[in-house]
Amino acid sequence: MKLTGKAWKFGDDVNTDEIIPARYLNVSDAFELAAHCMEDIDPDFMKKISKGDIIVADKNFGCGSSREHAPLAIKTAGISCVIAKSFARIFYRNSINIGLPILECAEAASKISEGDQIEIDLSSGTIINLTKKETYKSHPFPEFMQKIISAGGLMNYVTQRD
């Protein structure tokens, strides 16, 4: 699966309260959640991004609460992938489970600048910076994880498989 979009940069320890503030958790509707994606860290985020864009962050992205609403808001907002130096573990698991591709790659996280055009090949784990003409390597997703992502999440994958 190939993903292409513009990079939006964030720092260390972006927490799930910033990704989707708890005051909006009185609903589970993905589109209502997405309307407030990243609101407490960048109030204009939803106005700036285009479908397919990519979030690039430093260490421990998605720390804090276990709310699955966080990766769900990011995915529904149209973000195609999150690249970070490292992820908080519950966020990592939740992202795969709902079908949001996320890649750990310290080199990409430090070399990509905001606005760079990025292309990602999930099957090989290759991240190409089209603006800077650089290539970074992340671990490729194993086949079953690629299938979970393309099915749109774990539950879809499990039901399709049966």
Partner 1 sequence: MTITEKILAHHAGKDSVVPGELIMAKLDVVLANDITAPLGIEEFRKAGAKKVFDKDKIVLVADHFTPNKDIKSAEQVKYMRDFAREQEITHFYDVGQMGIEHALLPEQGLVLPGDAILGADSHTCTYGAVGAFSTGSGSTDFASAMITGEAWFKVPESMKFVFNGKLNKWVGGKDLILYIIGDIGVDGALYRAMEFAGSAISSLSMDGRLTMCNMAIEAGGKSGIVPPDDITLEYVKPRAKREFKIYASDTDAKYCDIRDYDASKIEPQVAFPFKPENTKGISEVGNVNIDQSVIGSCTNGRMEDLRIAAGILKGKKVHPYVRLIVLPGTQTIYLQALREGLIEIFVEAGGVVSTPTCGPCLGGHMGVLANGERSISTTNRNFRGRMGHIDSEVYLSGPAIAAASAVLGRIASPEEIGK
Binding residues (CB under 8 A) for partner 1: these are 13, 15, 17-18, 21-23, 25-28, 40-41, 59-60, 63-69, 71-72, 86, 88-90, 93-94, 97-98, 153-156, 158-159
CB closer to partner 1, 13 vs 107: 13
User: Minimum CB separation from partner 1 for residue 115, in Å?
Assistant: 24
Residue 119 in contact with residue 4, Cβ under 8 Å? yes
The minimum distance between CB 12 and partner 1, in angstroms, equals 9
In this complex, which beta carbon is closest to partner 1, that of residue 26 or of residue 50?
26
Spatial distance between the Cα atoms of 126 and 105, rounded to a whole number of angstroms? 10
Q: Which is nearer to partner 1, 97 or 126 (CB)?
A: 97
CA dist., res. 7 & res. 111, Å (int): 11
Helix (H) or strand (E) holding 141: none
| Tokens read off for 49 | 């991004």
Q: How far is the CB of 141 from partner 1 (least distance, A)?
A: 15
**Both structure tokens of 130:** 């089209």
CB of 118 to partner 1, least distance (A): 24
**CB-wise, 1 or 155, nearer to partner 1?**
155
Among residues 121, 86, 107, the alpha carbon closest in space to that of 13 is found at 86
The strand pair at 126-129 and 117-121 is best described as: antiparallel
Closer by beta carbon to partner 1, 16 or else 129 = 16
Phi, psi values for residue 133, rounded to 5°: 55, 50
